[in-house]
Structure 1
Amino acid sequence: MEDLFRDYWWLIFPLWGLGMGAWHSMANYRRKTRMLDIVRTYAEKGEQPPEALLTALNREDDEYRDGCRRSPAHYWSLVALFGVLGVGFGVGAWSYDFQGVGWPFSIVALVMGAMTLWALINALFIARAPGR
């Protein structure tokens, strides 16, 4: 068992990320279900639900679609981040290549370069939402 943990300890982090994503999705589902139950109660009484409740139901979806997650400014910061990381890992690959162990750094540098290119394309071609 010790060998298994020593070889695969790093799997804790992706599993933790998956667990947190599932927890967030479940919490969002429960919150939306409660809001819809309240709307259903108003509908059964024949009353109009408050506008604030209907706005709260749609607000998060609109923010996700049109919000800051897709703004070009966000992608420019990702261009800088992935560019610096790619250069750093590229320098690491070059410096460790003399010892014959630089190939993992090369792979990471290539991935970071691809992420830089992806962020650059998004920063250039995603239109800024009106009023932002």
Structure 2
Amino acid sequence: MALNSRRARQLLDAVAPLLAPGEQVRLTSLAGVGSVSLRRRAVTAAVVGALSAGTVVATVTPRPMYLALTDRRVLFLDGNRGGRPGAVVLDLPLAYVSAGDSKKAFLGLQYVTRLAVAGQEKGLKLTFPVQHRSDGPRFVAELPATV
């Protein structure tokens, strides 16, 4: 399921001033960017559990970001502004990006892929949540094969 029409329009409005002449948006979506270590998850759960006497359970998830894939680059916009797309956090030219390992995760409810970025040792992990799981394979298919 792609972004709802209102969110897609907000994302396209946020991206429009950044597009070069002739540049076209191919895909818009929402994904968690980055990874959260097992240690951080455990510490957060322990602290919240202790402070709430076990009545609250906390989870830590990757940072949500809106994605706009154009025919020239991938734009990542902040997704923590009350649901609306925020400022551009990362702008990666397609010439420097390729898809790495991709798979379904968490009982098949999510789609996870790693972006390989030229000149970077570590890839960038993208987790497409259940609502946007079908965008994951489409996103990967639009990326160059290798950097």
TM-score, length-scaled by structure 1: 0.28
- Greater helix fraction, Structure 1 or Structure 2: 1
Instruction: Give the TM-score normalised by structure 2.
Output: 0.26
Q: Which protein is bigger by CA-based radius of gyration? A: 1
